[in-house]
Structure 1
Amino acid sequence: MTAPETVPAAGTDWPPLVSLRQVTRTVRIVDLEELHVLRGIDLDIHPTDSLSIVGRSGSGKSTLLNLLGLLDLPTEGTLSFRGMDVRALGGDARARLRGGAIGFIFQQFNLLPGRTALENVMTPLLYAEGRQFWKREKLASAMLDRVGLGDRMREFPSNLSGGEQQRVAIARALVRTPELILADEPTGALDIETGAIVMELLDEVAAETGAALVTITHDANVAVRARTHYRLDAGVLRPEAAAA
């Protein structure tokens, strides 16, 4: 698998894939008081970027992930994807954009227990069009080969180790060749050694496809793998120097 020819090299001056400007997210709690979850977020994510966002529980990481994944909308500020104002898109348009351009990887693997590894990876392609739909089994098989599970694709999740299940989840997230990969605590359910192997695989495949990779984590060992680092604290996002 090779990166598309149109993907710029890291560090080139291309427009951002995702851009947030003064984004806030506010929710109303039971007594009608407002809870400010995100405060004035500014962030650009370019093709091929690799960045980590760390923060404690309750810092707003999940809320920010939902915004980046087009699962939610800002209360104030602008959020654009490929230069389009996401708030101007209808729900169906956001869902199509999300399904084709964004891949999600979670701490809990969220595999369908009654489906084989191959069937799990094929699931996103059921909503694809054209070649991706008609060649869904071939594409899913090739992606499972790529993550080292070519000989396990007929197994059910219950017969796979934690690391193997996370590889299936990675294959499922990448099978449509997304432009943006959002990894939410991707090693949280794995031991240290297996987690390192999974992150190495994720970094490698993201680089090959030219995707931007955003890893949201509380684990410093995971965060340090990224090229750019941020910390989210009480809803405020700040750049952070890499650990020595």
Structure 2
Amino acid sequence: MSLVRLEGVAKHVILPDDSRLDILRDIELDIPAGDHVAIVGRSGSGKSTLLNLMGMLDRPSEGAVWFRGELVRRMRRSKLDKLRGRNVGFVFQQFNLLSGRTALENVEMPLGYASGRAFWTRRRAATAMLERVGLGHRTDSTPEQLSGGEQQRVAIARALVRRPALILADEPTGALDVETGGSVMALLDEIASEADAALVTITHDLHVAARARRHFRLEGGVLTPFELSAPAAGAAAAAAYERIDIAPELAESVGEPRSDGAGEAAADRIEVAS
């Protein structure tokens, strides 16, 4: 049975001039437990909106979202909030850490609504998760005392501490260097595998996307699958990168050819095929 399923999902908003802006169109997506999906697309393509719909933070304008066979729109708000809190871990691009609270307190926060042993051992669990993301020495630091990369890792620890069934990560390595980003993605994969959780990653970085089992492009509000594998000829890979409009500041990390040829050598290691 599917963990989360989207059927004919569309999202639109009405603008001040009464015109309609279509953000998502007729999305069909089925994600079973244990799956790892990557979604790529240009800024403003609706990726974060799609993530919010999967995480039950928002409701579609049309279509249906199902979670473990239950239709989300029929759930009472109290049941939906409890279901989301127990089953969904969000890694937001903007971190959303509580200012003035320590890293440990931020990671503990989701366990404050737990029951039984999970509640009483929440500090130990939060400490262990911070250690797993390499921040065991920063438990007493507030967000204001942490670098952007450290804040990102705290946000990831907070998302994973409850071992959710669905992990939704919006640019999880955006504030991290290459080495730390690779370690964080390995950790996300590891935790997801341990819990048989589904992992959905939104990213501009094809090296991050390549870790997923399935790959989708979101363009013009339409979601389509594509294949990502290695190796490929530099020109073919570069053309593929251009089709999914990789952000310029990340172009080199996915091997966009440069005048000195270094980019082409990097591009040879990844292939994108429609």
Same fold (TM over 0.5): yes
Counterpart Cα distance in 2 of 1:147 and 1:190: 12
Matched residue, 2:130: 144
Larger Cα-atom Rg: 2
Q: 1:167 aligns with which of 146, 153, 158?
A: 153
Q: CA RMSD in A?
A: 1.6
Q: 1:42 aligns with which of 13, 28, 31?
A: 28
**Are 1:208 and 2:231 matched, yes or no?**
no
Measure the CA separation in 1 of the matches of 2:19 and 2:147: 45
Tell me whether 1:51 sits opposite 2:51 in the alignment. no
CA–CA distance in 1 between the matches of 2:22 and 2:145? 43
1: CA distance between counterparts of 2:182 and 2:120?
A: 35
Percentage of identical aligned residues: 62
Matching residue within 121, 125, 146 for 1:135: 121
By how many angstroms is 1:32 displaced? 1.6
2:61 alignment counterpart: 75
Deviations 1:102-152 (A, max 9, x none): 000122222223122211111111122232222221221222233333333
Residue 52 of structure 1, CA deviation:
0.2
- What amino acid is aligned across from residue 123 of structure 1 in structure 2? M
How far does residue 33 in structure 1 lie from its aligned partner after superposition? 1.8
Q: Any gaps of 5 or more consecutive residues in structure 2? A: 231-274
Give, in angstroms, the shift of residue 22 of structure 1: 0.9
- Structure 1 gaps of 5+ residues are 1-14
Distance in 2 between the 1:36 and 1:165 partners?
33
Q: How many residue pairs align between the two structures?
A: 230
2:175 aligns with one of 179, 182, 189: 189
Give 1:32's aligned residue: 18
Partner SS, residue 100 of structure 1: helix
- Equivalent-residue separation in structure 1 for 2:198 and 2:94 (angstroms): 21
1:76-118 deviations in whole A, cap 9, x for unaligned? 1111001000011122222111111000012222222312221
The superposition leaves residues 61-85 of structure 1 with CA deviations (integer Å, 9 ceiling, x where unpaired) of 1110110110111111111001000
**2 CA distance for matches of 1:193 and 1:138?**
27
- Whether the 8 Å CA contact 1:166–1:198 is kept in 2: the answer is no
Whole-angstrom CA distance in 2 between matches of 1:146 and 1:190: 16
